[in-house]
Copies of this chain bind each other. A is one copy, B any other.
Amino acid sequence: MTGKLYVVGLGPGNASQLTPEAEEAVRNASDVFGYGPYIDRIPERAGQQKHASDNRQEIQRAEEALRAATDGKTVAVVSGGDPGVFGMAAAVCEALEKSPGQWRQVDIAIIPGVSAMMAVAARVGAPLGHDFCAISLSDNLKPWSTVERRLELAATAGFVIALYNPISRARPWQLDHAFEKLRGVLPGTTPVVFGRAVGRPDERIAITQLAQAQGGNTDMATCVIIGSAETRLVERPGTTPLVYTPRGTSRPAA
């Protein structure tokens, strides 16, 4: 008998941003697989087995989850944010693609969540208010030249850019190179937002301009949003400005 595999988005990390269907899928699973810090967010439950793994082991984690579901278990694989945005949904599909045939009979349900870029955007205003893109800055799975080309085309197109996986111990220089690349296309005054661990106790938000932007204080829990040439601030007395991108533009495309 074949079980069920839920691929679940836990949202940014605050229980008030976890959807009821995601909460239910995790609660009902006999086995939960995920990257350690995401697994740590899940309350202990009698009879539920947690399987924490390292963040580079996505395919192996997906395979273990598919194997457990094929054995008849009700399994949840969890991602932070949305599982379809640089999360476990693609890893599960990849594992299935090269899998033994019986894994393909697992009943799979993907449960979306609030993605990090949306949570960060909400904290500062509406920087994603117009056309935008999301780019993983990791060059573990694609050439760095491809990342640079995408940054350049995205800025030229007028997209606001959300960067995921901006930096890690093994990839310390890429974010500063990305800023440098973008300074060749966008005004130095373009707003840049660093949103770390939004909705969690260690949340940290910083707003700067592209000319001054530096990767130094960033880590893997940070989502970086770089405006388009239209993105700007609305000052407010006694509180932080709002960062936003207007809904329309009369600017002709480059």
Contacts and interface: CB of A to CB of B under 8 A. Distances in A.
Nearest to A16: B21
A201 B159 CA distance: 34
Interface residues of A, number: 85
Interface in A216-235: 234-235
Interface string A91-104: 11110110001001
Given A89-B244, A90-B130, A129-B93, A150 B146 contact: no
A215 interface: no
Contact of A244 (B11, B90, B128, B145): B90
Interface of A: 9, 11-12, 14-21, 24, 58, 82-86, 89-94, 96-97, 101, 104-105, 108, 110-115, 118-119, 121-123, 125-136, 140-143, 145-146, 148-150, 153-154, 156-159, 234-238, 242, 244-254
The 4 A-B pairs at the shortest CB distance, nearest first, are namely A141-B248, A90-B129, A149-B253, A93-B244
